[in-house]
Structure 1
Amino acid sequence: MNMQPTLENDRVRLSPLSMENYLELAKIASQPGLVRYSPGRVEDPQGFRDYVVRALEARESKKAIPFIIYDKEIKAFAGSTRYMHIDWINKVLHIGATWIGREFHGTGLNTSMKDLMLTYAYSDMEFEKVEFRIDERNTASRKAVEKLGARLEGILRKNVYLDEGYKRNTCCYGLLREEWQSKYKRAGM
């Protein structure tokens, strides 16, 4: 399996995140509170570098595939996302650690990116289920994955510490391959 694929559609290009390209995101990463619902500090340069190093270590152990996001419409780097917690045996993975600059919110970029990632996970990777883990308070992200067809499967209570010491409740969403495929059939794609 290619652990460094490039995924692309008309709107977005997802390229492998690397130590050579991550600084393209430094200005976006420095936006205050951008990653407030997830563990990991990206606002300060050292925290951002550590965040990328951990993502690349997870790729080396075949547990994650991190991407840098390029918005082809706006012609600018927009943020980062990844496949993570990859369970190769049971054919289940998470899409997460997604953050895009505020100037890209509400532009359709996130939906286009998730469509691309879901299609690749189900077809090329032959996975059977994609999960999303979202802070219970992050209503925008929860609505976005529900719009994709993901279902709330449960809430893990106080299971993840965030950097400021708050212990969040995590909503667990799942989307099965057959649910995704039926969505595309209904949409005539």
Structure 2
Amino acid sequence: MTWQSMFSTTMENERVRLRPLQASDRDALSAIVFDPDIWRYFVSRIDDEAGLDRFIETGLADIEARKRAVFVVIDKPSNKIAGSMCYGNLAEADGRLEIGWSWLGAGYRGTGVNRFAKLALLTYAFGPLGCARVEFKTDVLNEPARRGLRNIGAKEEGVFRSYNVMPGGRRRDAVYYSILAAEWPDVKTMLSRPEKAMATS
């Protein structure tokens, strides 16, 4: 299957549905996005209405340009948007992509939404897209994200020192994680266990 499918696909499981970002999502995103805790370790922030407009405009432009597949995460029990996650840094010839740009509103963190959303993204990446490698990166200081990546079975690979500039001028060290196709069956089994699926992450 061509990777072009990712830009229009909807993924879901028993807890979440992920679909491409739409301009009409603005009001729902506005209800959850202005939380400073979300952006503490991000290289960009959304702290006002103009920032939200830029987020949506950039996301839609990246989808149109086939640069990044930007999804909203919908919590199925409430049928509300819980946050956003993406496929990016796409390398189809090498069977490699990154899952990232991930954030959830305060009411959805620690509820299992992250685990189910990552399960949906990984299932599609290693299934229809035929990925050999899925990678993740985060700020080396972001312990909650690092713990969440370990909880979904990603392996820590190393730190890229002084990787990029954060708001305020700090140089961020970025830590990389990955899951390989050969590891995916075990990771999928782990993520699909009821006791794991209900765990917070």
TM over 0.5: yes
1:73: which partner in 2? 77
CA distance in 2, matches of 1:28, 1:188: 28
The worse-fitting range, judged by mean Cα deviation, of 25-34 and 50-59 is 50-59
Moved over 4 A (4+): 185-189
1:114 maps onto 2:118 in alignment? yes
For these two proteins, the number of residue pairs brought into alignment is: 189
Q: Distance in 2 between matches of 1:59 and 1:151?
A: 28
Call closer, same or farther: CA 1:70–1:188 in 2, change over 3 Å.
Answer: closer
* Inter-CA distance 188–84: structure 2 relative to 1 (3 Å threshold): closer
Query: Equivalent pairs: percent with the same residue?
Result: 31
Structural RMSD (CA): 1.7
1:177, 1:89 → 2: CA distance?
Answer: 15
| Secondary structure, counterpart of 1:99 in structure 2 | strand
Decide whether the 8 Å contact of 2:115 with 2:191 is kept in 1. Answer: no
Please list the CA deviations of residues 49-108 of structure 1 after superposition, one character each: whole Å capped at 9, or x if unmatched: 112222222222222110111101233211111111111111111111111011111100
Q: Which residues in structure 2 correspond to 1:36-185 (within 5 Å)?
A: 36-184=40-188
Comparing 175-184 with 131-140, which one deviates more in the overlay?
175-184
Q: When the two structures are superposed, what TM-score results if normalisation uses the length of structure 1?
A: 0.93
SS of 2:39 mapped into structure 1: coil
TM-score (norm 2): 0.87
- Contact 2:28–2:80 (8 Å) recurs in 1: no
Query: Structure 2, unaligned stretches of length 5 or more?
Result: 194-201
Amino acid at match of 1:98: S
How far 1:133 moved relative to its partner? Answer: 0.7
Which amino acid in the other structure matches residue 58 of structure 1? D
Distance apart, 1:185 and its partner CA: 5.3
**Cα 1:73–1:188 shift into 2, 3 Å:** closer
The answer to whether the aligner puts 1:14 opposite 2:22 as a matched pair is no
Task: Quote the residue 2:39 is aligned against.
Answer: 35
